[in-house]
Amino acid sequence: MQYWKDKLFNIRPCYFPCLISEPASTVEWETTSIDLQIPFQRLHDFARFYKVDKSIILRVAWGILLRTYMGWQDVCFGYRTAGRDIPVTGLESAVGPFSRVLICRARALAGQTIVQLLRDAEVERQRDLEDLQHQHVTMSAIEHELNTKGKRLFNTCISFGYENISSQTLPNGKFILNSSNQASEYDINADFNTRDGSLTVDLGHRILAYQQAVTVGHVLGKAVETILESPSATVKEADLFTVYDHNQILAWNSMPQIDVQNIHLATLIAAQAQKNADIQAVYGFDGALTYAELYRLSSGLAQYLLNLGVRPQMPLPVVVDKSRWAIVTMLAVLT
């Protein structure tokens, strides 16, 4: 246990934000397969040139993705291992699943270069043997020791599946891979594969709608592409805006314009607070707010700002991390 406490010292529970309005417990698990349009040979050549394992590139890409969606520089997630390295005679040839999830911690400081992240992650991978020596400690015991207050330490997991899956019919004409489906105790599971020479990801999810899962998959592909194209760039220079995002914005902009309310936003929120006080208005990784709570908190902050001397039309910068309080703060300024 001390090994895990040292490795995870000062770590915060890392939850990919829920992007759907329904509770995750009521949503059926889905698997969305996305072709990342990256030749596997290119990944292989890059890994050999920089003397890192191919899985390290994918770990770092997932870490950068989490950093982008959460706004944190220190994230953690699970990675699945074969589970066949425990000292049981003949286990390597046994039939059946023995895999288990271990913990990967990824630090990505803004000024670090991507190649530094890769080398740090490779050093960490060399220490995976130590993780395996302590894998008998259950995840629930680790979470209890870290005082996560009954919650999981993370809600995403990555795994590395088969290489060189072909969509072509085999010579005997009997077998062909049709689809892959997953099940996982985590909210998002990214399983990397190679199909017809191209890197793909089977994204299992219960906190994303289908189109959101496709968007996340493309962002993941852009993270891998950024690593391969610009290893000397710093983390803060990593641009994860994708062609898919660009086309989506063009499609939105081409839609018929809706009628715009000629009412102040704060007035609209106040009306909702009266009519639908208990309906959820804001959802963030750090909690949710109803319309009544949003109105009460933003009004209180607005009054506090007035007491400090803030006046209408006065420029007021808002610098705050991504959270439910960002919405409260912006609404208070607008009020």
Q: Specify whether the CB–CB gap between 240 and 222 falls below 8 A.
A: yes
Is residue 24 scored above 70 in pLDDT? no
Going by C-beta distance under 8 Å and a sequence separation of 6 or more, which residues neighbour residue 174? none
Is residue 6 scored above 60 in pLDDT? yes
Q: 74-78, 172-176, 205-209: which range is least confident on average?
A: 172-176
Average pLDDT of the residues in 142-163: 87
Do 221 and 280 have their domain in common? Answer: no
pTM comes to 0.75
31: in domain:
yes
Q: What is the pLDDT of residue 112?
A: 92
- Provide the residue range defining the domain that includes 128: 2-243
- Residue identified by tokens 């707010």 is 289
Structure-model confidence comparison of residues 1 and 130, the more confident one? 1
Q: What is the pLDDT of residue 326?
A: 93
249: in domain:
no
Going by C-beta distance under 8 Å and a sequence separation of 6 or more, which residues neighbour residue 183? 29, 204
Q: Specify whether the CB–CB gap between 277 and 290 falls below 8 A.
A: yes
Average pLDDT of the residues in 222-236: 94
pLDDT confidence band for 64 (50 / 70 / 90): very high
Distance, in Å, from the CA atom of 219 to the CA atom of 216, rounded to the nearest integer, reads 5
Distance, in Å, from the CA atom of 287 to the CA atom of 323, rounded to the nearest integer, reads 8
Do 179 and 302 have their domain in common? Answer: no
Average pLDDT of the residues in 305-320: 90
Q: What is the pLDDT of residue 39?
A: 93
Average pLDDT of the residues in 140-144: 90
112: in domain:
yes
Choose the most confident range, by mean pLDDT, from 33-47, 84-98, 170-184: 33-47
Q: What is the pLDDT of residue 335?
A: 87
326: in domain:
yes
Q: What is the pLDDT of residue 174?
A: 63
> What 3 state SS string does the chain have?
CHHHHHHCCCCCCECCCCCCCCCHHHCCCEEEEEEEEEEHHHHHHHHHHCCCCHHHHHHHHHHHHHHHHHCCCEEEEEEEECCCCCCCCCHHHCCCCCCEEEEEEEECCCCCEHHHHHHHHHHHHHCHHHHHHCCCCCHHHHHHHCCCCCCCCECEEEEECCCCECCCCCCCCCCCCCCCCCCCCCCEEEEEEEECCEEEEEEEECCCCHHHHHHHHHHHHHHHHHHHHCCCCEHHHCCCCCHHHHHHHHHHHCCCCCCCCCCCHHHHHHHHHHHCCCCEEEEECCEEEEHHHHHHHHHHHHHHHHHHCCCCCCCCCCCCCCCHHHHHHHHHHHC
Q: What is the pLDDT of residue 286?
A: 84
Distance, in Å, from the CA atom of 310 to the CA atom of 265, rounded to the nearest integer, reads 19
Do 30 and 166 have their domain in common? Answer: yes
CATH label of the domain that carries residue 128? 3.30.559.30
Q: What is the mean pLDDT of the chain?
A: 87
Q: What is the pLDDT of residue 115?
A: 93
Among residues 191, 108, 188, the alpha carbon closest in space to that of 152 is found at: 188
pLDDT confidence band for 26 (50 / 70 / 90): low
257: in domain:
no
Do 226 and 288 have their domain in common? Answer: no
76: in domain:
yes
Is residue 227 scored above 90 in pLDDT? yes
Average pLDDT of the residues in 193-213: 91
Q: What is the pLDDT of residue 161?
A: 77
Q: What is the pLDDT of residue 44?
A: 92
187, 209, 243 - which closes a domain: 243
Average pLDDT of the residues in 242-261: 84
Is residue 176 scored above 70 in pLDDT? no
Q: What is the pLDDT of residue 170?
A: 56
Q: What is the pLDDT of residue 117?
A: 92
Is residue 45 scored above 60 in pLDDT? yes
Phi, psi (deg, nearest 5) at residue 256: -55, 140
pLDDT confidence band for 124 (50 / 70 / 90): confident
Average pLDDT of the residues in 241-247: 91
**How many other CB atoms sit within 10 Å of the CB of residue 200?**
23
Do 233 and 280 have their domain in common? Answer: no
Do 281 and 327 have their domain in common? Answer: yes
Beta-bridge mates of residue 188: 156, 205
Angle subtended at Cα 96 by Cα 93 and Cα 99, rounded to the nearest 5 degrees: 95
Average pLDDT of the residues in 214-219: 94
Q: Number of folded domains in the chain?
A: 2
Do 121 and 239 have their domain in common? Answer: yes
Do 295 and 218 have their domain in common? Answer: no
Is residue 145 scored above 80 in pLDDT? yes
Do 97 and 231 have their domain in common? Answer: yes
Is residue 101 scored above 80 in pLDDT? yes
Among residues 104, 97, 105, the alpha carbon closest in space to that of 183 is found at: 97
Query: What radius of gyration, in Å, describes the C-alpha atoms of the chain?
Result: 23
Do 55 and 86 have their domain in common? Answer: yes
Do 133 and 199 have their domain in common? Answer: yes
212, 243, 274 - which closes a domain: 243
248: in domain:
no
Do 53 and 181 have their domain in common? Answer: yes
255: in domain:
no
Is residue 23 scored above 70 in pLDDT? no
